[in-house]
Structure 1
Amino acid sequence: MRRVVITGAGSVNPLGHDVPATLAAMRSGRCGIGPLSGLVDQDRLAVQIGAQVTGFDPAAHFDRQRLPLLDRFAQFALVSARQAVAQSGLAFDGALADRSGVVMGTAGGGNTTVDDNYRTVHAEGKNRVHPFVVPRLMHNAAASHMSMEFGLRGPGLAVSTACASSNHAMGLALQLIRGGAADVILTGGSEAMLCFGGLKAWEGLRVMSRDGCRPFAASRNGLVMGEGGAVFVFEELEHARARGAEVLAEVAGFGMTSDAGDIVAPTQDGPVRAMQLALADAGLAAEDIGYVNAHGTGTTANDRTEARALNAVLGAQAAHVPVSSTKSLHGHLIGGTGAVELLACLLALREGVIAPTVNFDAPDPECAVDAVPNVARHGVDVRAVLSNAFAFGGLNAVLALRRI
């Protein structure tokens, strides 16, 4: 079977505008959640905190001709992709262009574009919108712009499965390369849902915290919305070796399941089966796992259910496996969250550093996991990891990575 590795990574998220800044924040446990600022109609929001990407200047990355075509979620994706491709050292020309593609995850696509134009039509009473509204809001906008920027003429598509979008996208990229449809795939996810409409919709679900994200803690009371994304270069192992590329990790396995239960309430069975499938696909045993990046949203139901699922999968060694939720640091990036969380997995595999679950005040007896509270753990020998994503709609996607 063709093996798949990561040879480049890029990110724009609330912890930093690139991977080094993001990893530094994870090592130090710096939280990117704070008071919201600069949103239209912000005073009408009940929730006034979030994890914003601050100091990001789109004009520094895109010229005046291109910028009107790009919603914020696509901007995050393109800047992240540039970083990842630069690290990989790849040039997509000749035959490689036909053997390279892009698979990106997003839950909402161009949310800020939708929000702005509903306001234009309904609040301001205008009868015309900008001609680029559809190209900006469509879910495949980021993937399409990435394919055009780098000349990727192979498979190209967008994946939308709510909070599991990134993991499903990366799992599909793994399968495409394994199956011989491509040698290189740019993959990950991005989201920009921090606008009035996006936040107001999530407020309606009554799962938002007004004072912080505390996954697995006794006082947890909901998730905190964030924005941003990450992109990775997935490459067939022998292709990477032939050109002398630095390999960051192997994407060893993938598992996906459906709960077939409730549209919002999680089950234990679906996540258990997804983790077991990822382990089997990677040829790993539960005792091989040295770290789990949990879905860990900070809601009462998710964290309790996920903790029980983890104990069912990891068995006797469950108490000894670090399980942290970096959503406590960067917020819940919805369709982009799994991609940013994969950076924490690379940090564990490459540096032996486990990013912490911050804001952790007291353990919940119903969440029996080693949540790595508040302070990063250094000097841990991690050879394989799992990264969990469990979405509304009961769609579960788990990636297994291995040190190589």
Structure 2
Amino acid sequence: MKQRTSILYLCIAIFWQIGCASVMVTNWVPDDSNFKERPVRVLLGYASEEEIFKTTGELIVKDANDLTIKRAYDFLSLNPTAIKAPISIQSNAEWIEYKGISYRGTILLKPINGKVFIINLVPIELYLLSVVPSEVSASWPKEALKAQAVCARTYVVKEMLNRKKQEFDVDTSTNTQVYKGKNKEHKNTTEAVFETEGLILIHKGQPIQSFFHSNAGGYTEDPANVWGNPVEYLKPVPSEYDKDGDQYAWEDKWKTDYVNQSLRDLGIGEVQDIVVANRFPTSRVNELEIIGSTGTKKIKATEFRKKIGATKLKSTRFGIRKEDSGDFYVKGLGSGHGVGMSQWGSFAMAKSQFNHKEILQHYFKGIEFARIVSK
């Protein structure tokens, strides 16, 4: 009987592995026939003084009609006050250096309402060569890097679709995706990008909002509880592998002066106490009651985190108490908003032999895998 049972379990395991390995990949055809050739528009910043661009070789400045208006070798200086119409800077090398960071593609300088936007125009796959190692360590297991590549590709594609009438698609910070230019590229993450080339996540035929964060602290969160909008494929899921990653558990102590300064605009005087009013089913805090010397206010935990600062309050899965000294002791789990893929969860899952598709299917429910193809 034991032998039959062992054989049964072996057959189930083999079937499960074959099923996971053969996840169907469909095609996603954008409405815009030129979408695959369209570059990502990355906002690098705004010109405020003389701007210097460098490369090894020739720098070519062109106007909006693609006519060359200036050439320089190795070094180019531009005064933003003199820029009255969009210009682009190209290089015969594969990069342009700006403020110590080398960027692939083209640099666009575009004056709008008194500001000169500095935008990097770079193909999607080349953009990802920097984003993936900027978001996670290149030393991570290959399947975690591939999961991050697919997640990041899907995210930027969705932003490109949503923001096509805006001046840029993404910036270089955690507001969108971290992007540190060519300097950050690494062969491990480059391989992960190339091996998943064009692969994105879709739901009902369209790219999803593939949010991700550092560590879910054991359970992901419903976006309705973070931003107010429910999303069908972003339901909370257990993320037990988080415990093996950085920033799973943390604690901090906040000085009274820091708390008072951070919450001064609530208009309730000196903060006397901070009490958790209620929690979501995932155990993240929903609301807190701030008790002041001149009044009491209830505040959403997401707003409270903004006021205190995300580096001080790493997630809303926390507890807080006031100590005899008047300082506040805080202890929590996880780091980030908690929606979508936990990066440290994906790391630990990859170490436990889950592949990138299995990782993504765990965090995004009811999704399909698709390749971007032209019409």
Pairwise TM-score range, normalised by the shorter structure: under 0.3
Give the number of the structure whose residues are more often helix, by fraction.
Answer: 1
TM-score normalised by the chain length of structure 2: 0.22
Give the number of the structure whose residues are more often strand, by fraction.
Answer: 2
TM-score normalised by the chain length of structure 1: 0.21
Larger Rg: 2
